[in-house]
Amino acid sequence: MDNVSTNTITIKDMECSVLTNENGFQINVFNYGASLGSLKIPLPNGEKVDVVLGFDSVDTYKESFGLNSPPYFGAIVGRYAGRISKGLFTLNDQQYKLYPNNNKNSLHGGKEGFSQKEWTIVAENSGKNPSVTLEYSSPSNEENYPGELDVKVTYTLSEQNELIVEYNAKTTEDTIINLTHHSYFNLDGHQGSVENQELMIASEKLVETDTDNIPTGRFIDLKNHPFDFNLPKKCPTSIDTTFVVVATDAVSASLYSPKNNLKMDVITNQPGIHVYVGGNCFGTLKGKGNAAYHHLSGICFETQNYPDAPNHINFPSAILKKGEQYYHKTIYKFQFV
């Protein structure tokens, strides 16, 4: 327990909370975007591997949001993760128009979502299972969403080598909400490639989308489908798809590195996991440590509600009512196999 610690430092203009568990796992959490900047895992050979992509400075994070396809490295995404068709939704018989930052649609909270906000570090626990809690209060009508929304996100690094991300939110008016975490994982290290890593997704259906990647409201059976990952197989070279979670609070997805014999399981209480590999932002900005990222540098497991859920009555409700509490929990569990 002597090695367990939590401390706040400043790294290139970003306030950073550094958590270390008793096994030597270490994470850096930045106040900008409440972002996970690094996740370092000690290997049996004594080396350490950083398994998430990121940047070295707040200026580069900010610059990345000016790209045609921002990467959202390690960020908390909100108020609504995923796309909302034409940036429109109706709540309590009133229509709301959001900023169309993805062609004609709204994506990941609009023009300036939670990923670009300065969060406040409000609590740190340096004891067993070290943790940090960050808070952001979104004013009513920010990005045209109704209600003042108070959000807290807690990152915990457990002694079981779990990265636990918990989200709590409450609102002053009925609103919609869908928060997620947007790390790109690479179990070979952030300077490598995921092409030889094995992906498993415990799902029977995926959310059908149109050519703009907007849900149609229908689902596709994964039997005999190229994206059936119920049995592990190599990561796809490109994917931007929401999978229906079969059982919450069970292993819904996993990633395995034959190189490091390292496995990551994803467990969530959310109805979907949006899996993403690809993007056209790479080759423009250098990553941390001068890494030259490319479209196979990492894979995202965005645990969340379905995209465009406010516009589909057959999807799980995305409405958070005044007086109610939003709670989302996702665990990324690491083990050597």
What does the alpha-carbon distance between residue 217 and residue 334 come to, in Å, rounded to a whole number? 34
Catalytic residue among 108, 181, 182, 190: 182
Strand partners, 327: 168
Is the distance from CB of 123 to CB of 6 less than 8 angstroms? no
Q: CB of 151 within 8 A of CB of 65?
A: no
| List 190, 274, 302, 328, catalytic entry | 302
Radius of gyration of the CA atoms of the chain, in A: 19
**In whole angstroms, how far apart are CA 28 and each of 19, 21, 188, 245?**
7, 12, 18, 29
Encoded tokens for 198: 């094995």
Strands 36-42 and 48-50, sheet pairing: antiparallel
DSSP symbols for 49-103: EE-B---SSHHHHHHHTTSSS---TT-EE-SB-SEEGGGEEEETTEEEE----BT
Smallest Cα–Cα separation from 332: which of 259, 258, 268? 268
Active site residue 182: yes
> What is the C-alpha to C-alpha distance for residues 106 and 88, in angstroms, rounded to an integer?
8
* Dist. CA 94–CA 123, nearest whole Å: 37
The β-bridge partners of 34 are none
Q: Checking DSSP bridges between strand 76-77 and strand 239-244, what pairing results, if any? A: unpaired
Residues labelled catalytic? 182, 302
